[in-house]
Amino acid sequence: MNAYRAKPLRYPWPPLLYLAGIIGAIMAGRFTALAPVPSPLPYVLPSIGFSIGLFAVTLDIWAVRTLMERQTPVFDTGCARHLVTCGPFRFSRNPIYLAYTLFTVALGFITGNAWFFIAAFLALLATRILAIPGEERHLEARFGYDYESYRKRTRRWI
């Protein structure tokens, strides 16, 4: 397969999928409350949520900065110029999507709204089905053996 046939995504799906999930969780929480997330002490779960959220934002900034330093488009609508395997990409092939998922989970802990956990799972599943296969085809067509080697040694999420 040549690199011109395996084009990158046409739309920035993952940010839109996670945003839709967050909005959906907020709306669902207003209209149909699930059982609240149980907490032994009132400040424990929000503290866990803030910790996860801080880690997610830090991971996202680190990944975006790594891409920008390597002059590679942050959104997958642009053609990849370089195969980035450093920074957080050493540990995860999709650190930005991992950060989005963790941030959505953090919102669930912070707000006590269990819909955020469902939204995180559904957004992760939709990203896995709608976005990642196209991205991987593009990277494989563009970088060939180097990408295959990277994919074998680096897990998709963590």
The 10s digit of each residue's pLDDT in 9-55 is 666 688 999 999 999 999 998 888 776 666 677 788 899 999 999 99
Question: What was the pLDDT predicted at 109?
Answer: 93
Taking only the tens place, the pLDDT of each residue in 64-114 is 999 999 888 777 666 778 899 999 999 999 999 999 999 999 999 999 899
Q: With bands split at pLDDT 50, 70 and 90, how would you rate the model's confidence at 138? A: confident
Q: At residue 4, does pLDDT exceed 60?
A: no
* Full residue range of the structural domain in which residue 64 is found: 13-29+42-153
67 occurs within a structural domain: yes
102 occurs within a structural domain: yes
Contact criterion met (CB below 8 Å) for 64 and 87: no
37 occurs within a structural domain: no
35 occurs within a structural domain: no
Q: At residue 134, does pLDDT exceed 90?
A: no
85 occurs within a structural domain: yes
62 occurs within a structural domain: yes
Query: Which residue in 119, 130, 116 sits closest to 36, CA to CA?
Result: 116
Question: What was the pLDDT predicted at 11?
Answer: 66
Strands in 71-153 per DSSP E: none
79 occurs within a structural domain: yes
Token pair recorded at residue 62:
């680190």
C-alpha 93: how far from its chain's center?
10
Total structural domains in the chain?
Answer: 1
pTM recorded for the entire structure: 0.88
- C-beta atoms surrounding 109 within 10 Å: 22
2 occurs within a structural domain: no
Report the alpha-carbon distance of residue 38 to residue 44 in Å, rounded. 10
